[in-house]
């Protein structure tokens, strides 16, 4: 059986779709699963264990009729038996019908007339569970499995060497993802946690736990942000993973992860690292599973910056 899953969104959306793909593979071990995702999201599948091929299509671009026709042709040429639409789009559902895919699974509502198997859309639950509901359209009623990833051996080795380089291999460490990548281009600056707040948290941690190093993940676009923190707190370690596998391996080695609502938060869930995550307007219950290892701090105003460092520190020391 050949299946294609069309999953719009970024890397975080793909990672939250992993349990659905993994459970589908568990029920049908010989199945071939392809995904059709936006170019910006392909990196997620470096740590997936269930996907055979990655197709790309920019769902949010200003696509011409020729672009949509090419998508139909790409799907038709591969002769899929099943298509799973993770979004709710009349146009996508129509294109799946035009591509001649016999079984078309998606959510009830907009465009469901072009589906063969539609399931209810329940938005107020953990998104991984919401995606997993789609398998009901294929008769799979099992509970949603936990989110897991498959980190390449080379990335695990890189992380081990990086921990040795930083001098944190034996002591353990706290890892912080500041969530400020491409700050100048961010559409929602309310999700950024200020430099001085991070500095206050790190300083307090260093005072109370001087034997446990603090390391900051520096992603592309965060160099200036991280540099300002390190200038004030020179003992902070800096790590700059070059791919999602290396990042995941560094998160897996941490004693504690501090982050905003971000891709590293989902990776921390996947590797079961104790995590404290800061949320602005987003509902934490939709992006974090119910588990004592994953603690959400919701802003009282909807702006992440309005979460006081004192509140974060209380969770660290009292959580």
164 and 298 part of one domain: yes
Q: 220 with 194, same domain? A: yes
Structural domain ending residue among the three candidates 138, 169, 192: 138
- Alpha-carbon span 249 to 271, nearest angstrom: 9
Q: What is the DSSP string of 206-247?
A: HHH-TTS-EEEE--TT-HHHHHHHHHH-TT-EEE--SSHHHH
Query: Is residue 106 classed exposed, middle or buried when 0-12, 13-18 and 19+ CB atoms within 10 A define those classes?
Result: buried
Residue 166 and residue 74 share a domain: no
Q: Is residue 148 part of a domain?
A: no
The distance of Cα 67 from the centroid of its chain, to the nearest Å, equals 27
pLDDT score of 58: 94
Q: Report how many domains make up the chain.
A: 2
Domain stop point among 79, 103, 138: 138
Range of the domain at 74: 2-138
Residues 170 and 128 both lie in one domain: no
Q: Are residues 90 and 169 in the same domain?
A: no
87 and 180 share a domain?
Answer: no
In a domain, 143, yes or no: no
Asked if the structure places residue 240 within a domain, the reply is yes
Last residue in a domain, options 105, 138, 171: 138
Q: Do the domain assignments include residue 23?
A: yes
Instruction: Measure the CA–CA gap between 84 and 62, rounded to whole angstroms.
Output: 23
35: helix, strand or coil: strand
Say whether both 124 and 158 belong to one domain.
no
CATH, residue 247:
3.40.50.2000
SS3 of residue 15 by DSSP: helix
Closest of 139, 92, 143, 134 to residue 113, by C-alpha: 92
User: Is residue 270 included in any domain, yes or no?
Assistant: yes
Residue 313 in any domain: the answer is yes
Most distant CA pair in the chain, distance: 64
Residues 168 and 297 in one domain: yes
Residue pLDDT tens, the chain, 319 long: 999 999 999 999 999 999 999 999 999 999 999 999 999 999 999 999 999 999 999 998 888 999 999 999 999 999 999 999 999 899 999 999 999 999 999 999 988 999 999 999 999 999 999 999 999 999 999 999 999 999 999 999 999 999 999 999 999 999 999 987 644 444 466 778 999 999 999 999 999 999 999 999 999 889 999 999 999 999 999 999 999 999 999 999 999 999 999 999 999 999 999 999 999 999 999 999 999 999 999 999 999 999 999 999 999 998 5
pLDDT at site 185: 43
Q: How far, in Å, are 103, 178, 190, 288, 319 from residue 294 at the CA level? A: 37, 17, 22, 7, 10
């Amino acid at each position: 059986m050949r299946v294609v899953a069309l999953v719009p969104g970024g890397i975080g959306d793909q990672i939250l779709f992993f349990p659905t793909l993994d459970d589908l593979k568990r029920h049908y071990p010989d199945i071939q699963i392809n995904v059709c995702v936006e170019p910006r999201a392909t990196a997620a599948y470096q740590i997936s264990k269930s996907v055979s091929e990655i197709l790309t299509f920019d769902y949010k671009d200003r696509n011409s009729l020729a672009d949509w026709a090419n998508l139909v042709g790409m799907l038709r040429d591969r002769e899929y038996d099943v298509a799973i639409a993770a979004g709710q789009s009349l146009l996508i559902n129509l294109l799946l019908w035009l591509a001649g895919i016999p079984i078309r699974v998606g959510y009830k509502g907009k465009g469901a007339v072009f589906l063969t198997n539609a399931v209810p859309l329940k938005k107020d639950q953990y998104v991984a569970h919401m995606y997993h509901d789609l398998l009901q359209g294929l008769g799979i009623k099992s509970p949603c499995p936990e989110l897991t990833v498959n980190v390449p051996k080379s990335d695990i080795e890189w992380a081990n060497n990086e921990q040795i380089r930083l001098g944190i291999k034996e002591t353990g460490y706290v890892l912080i993802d500041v969530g400020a990548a491409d700050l100048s281009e961010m559409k929602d600056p309310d999700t950024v946690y200020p430099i001085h707040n991070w500095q206050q948290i790190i300083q307090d941690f260093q005072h109370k736990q001087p034997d446990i190093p603090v390391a900051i993940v520096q992603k592309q676009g965060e160099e200036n942000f991280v540099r300002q923190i390190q200038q004030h707190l020179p003992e902070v370690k800096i790590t700059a993973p070059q791919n999602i596998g290396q990042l995941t391996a560094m998160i897996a080695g941490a004693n504690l992860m501090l982050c905003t609502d971000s891709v590293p938060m989902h990776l921390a869930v996947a590797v079961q690292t104790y995590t404290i995550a800061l949320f602005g307007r987003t509902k934490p219950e939709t992006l974090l599973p119910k588990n004592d290892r994953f603690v959400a701090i919701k802003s009282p105003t909807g702006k992440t910056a309005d979460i006081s460092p004192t509140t974060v520190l209380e969770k660290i020391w009292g959580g």
